[in-house]
Amino acid sequence: MSNTRRNWRYNPFTGIYYPKQITAEVHTVEYHEAWNAYGILLLEAPSRDFSVTITENITGGITFAEVGRSVSPSAGEFRVDYDASTFFATGRVEFNSADDGTVVLVSYRGLGEVLKNPPIPVLISRQVFTSSGTWTKPSGLVYVNVKVIGGGGGGGAFTLNDIGGGGGGGGGVSEKTILDVSLAATVAVTVGTGGAGAVLPANDGAAGNTSSFGAHCTASGGSGATSVNGGASGVGSSGDLNYALGPGHNSVSYPSFNGCGGNGGGPGGKGAITTVAGADGSPYGGGGGGGFNGISDTNGGAGAAGVVIVENWGEATP
């Protein structure tokens, strides 16, 4: 079947829709790869001039609550893919993943047949921001996958008791899928720089800085090492998946001989084990390695800068 819609409830001469009441249409909530979301596809496009009612198909089942198109539904909620310019929907109704497998009854006013086999979104472009800038929404966008990594913390240094410096903490990470309707035409992109390593006689490395994709998701930078102690990792927030690259390692002491620096967190720099400085962290967001202490005292390594990666998924160009 071709990717066309036929709408037999619209009179092109009068410009009037004649919706039909559809009651208790049965569907099962499931994952749709083409949408990257959980939901159902109605048999007809629902009119936005009338409410859509969805109930669980069991005795005493819940009635789902409709939320706005730009709101991600929680458990027990749904959103309808209305087309604001033509008042014609695709028939796509999205749910929360917690409702996967639920059999539902849908009542609505139908406007005609919907697109039965919508095209699967394709990767339009992949943008890697290694410095702060601005993301611009491309035409035909359906959704974006965003990954944000904070800057790594700097490694520490120490001059007493044959104890090396600790490693800097790795940056935090946040990953999120964002629908086009939730995105402005442009979004500010901030890429956190890495923290400087300790320069003797100072002992502490500097913290890495925060990376973000607008207000959609954020990842803080790793903490700098505090002399011999490794720095804590940064944290991700507001994403669908938030995690940490990992903390920096404490230094290792060899009494009466030498102190080796701790490794940085994440793709961190190696702690110094000879009379050289701790290694810088590796991209992206790795913590700096700790400095050496012994025959000659050395500085800590710098943390690596973070990054913001945006994958733009949308309609294929004919």
Q: Under a CB-based contact definition with an 8 Å cutoff, are residues 245 and 256 in contact?
A: no
* Residue 91 confidence (pLDDT): 83
164 and 290 housed in the same domain: yes
Decide if 4 is inside a domain.
no
Q: Does the CA dihedral 91-95-97-101 come out positive or negative?
A: negative
Q: What pLDDT does residue 5 have?
A: 44
| Residue 3 lies inside a defined structural domain of this protein | no
Distance spanning both ends of the chain, measured CA to CA? 17
Query: Buried (b) or exposed (e) across 61-100, using 16+ Cβ within 10 A?
Result: eeebebeebeebbeeebbbbbbeeeeebbbbbbbbbeebe
User: CB of 112 within 8 A of CB of 10?
Assistant: yes
What does the pLDDT read at residue 157? 86
Per the listing, tokens 């956190």 go with 192
Q: Which of 85, 113, 141 is the last residue before a domain boundary?
A: 113
How many Å apart are CA 275 and CA 271, to the nearest integer? 11
Gap between the Cα atoms of 291 and 281, Å rounded: 13
Nearest to 278 by CA among 254, 260, 296, 295: 260
Q: Residues 274, 248: one domain?
A: yes
Q: Note down pLDDT in tens along the chain; length 318 residues.
A: 334 444 555 555 666 667 788 899 999 999 988 778 899 988 888 887 788 999 998 888 899 999 988 888 999 999 998 654 444 457 889 999 999 999 999 999 887 765 545 557 789 999 999 999 999 999 888 889 999 999 999 998 876 666 778 889 999 999 998 888 788 999 999 999 999 998 888 789 999 999 999 999 999 999 999 888 889 999 999 998 999 999 988 887 665 445 555 576 678 666 656 677 788 999 999 999 888 776 777 888 999 999 999 999 987 655
**Residue 229, domain extent:** 121-318
Q: Contact at 8 Å (CB) between 20 and 9?
A: yes
The dihedral through the CA atoms of 195, 201, 202, 204 has a sign that is positive
Distance CA 242, CA 275 (A): 38
**Does residue 164 belong to any structural domain of this protein?**
yes
- Does residue 83 sit in the same domain as residue 214? no
100 and 228 fall within a common domain: no
The answer to whether the CB of 11 falls within 8 A of the CB of 86 is no
Per DSSP, which regions of 150-219 are E strands?
172-179, 186-190, 211-213, 217-219
pLDDT for res 113: 64
Residue that is written with structure tokens 């819940």 in the block: 62
Task: Decide: residue 53, CB within 10 A, 0-12 exposed, 13-18 middle, 19+ buried.
Answer: middle
Check residue 60 and give its pLDDT. Answer: 81
Domain end marker among 113, 134, 159:
113
In a domain, 5, yes or no: no
The neighbour count for residue 16, using CB atoms within 10 Å, is 9
Residue 1 within any structural domain of the chain: no
Mapping DSSP to helix (H, G, I), strand (E, B) and coil, where does residue 292 land?
Answer: coil
- Confidence at residue 264, expressed as pLDDT on a 0 to 100 scale: 66
270 secondary structure, DSSP code: P
Do 237 and 254 lie in a common domain?
Answer: yes
- The reply to whether 98 and 141 lie within a common domain is no
Examine residue 68 and state whether it is found in any structural domain, yes or no.
yes
Q: What are residue 229's phi and psi, to 5 degrees?
A: -95, 135
Sign of CA dihedral 66, 71, 74, 78: positive
Backbone angles phi, psi at 182, to 5 degrees: -95, 0
Question: Running DSSP on this structure, what letter comes out for residue 160?
Answer: S
281 in Cβ contact with 303 (< 8 Å) = yes
Whether 225 and 231 have beta carbons less than 8 Å apart is answered as: yes
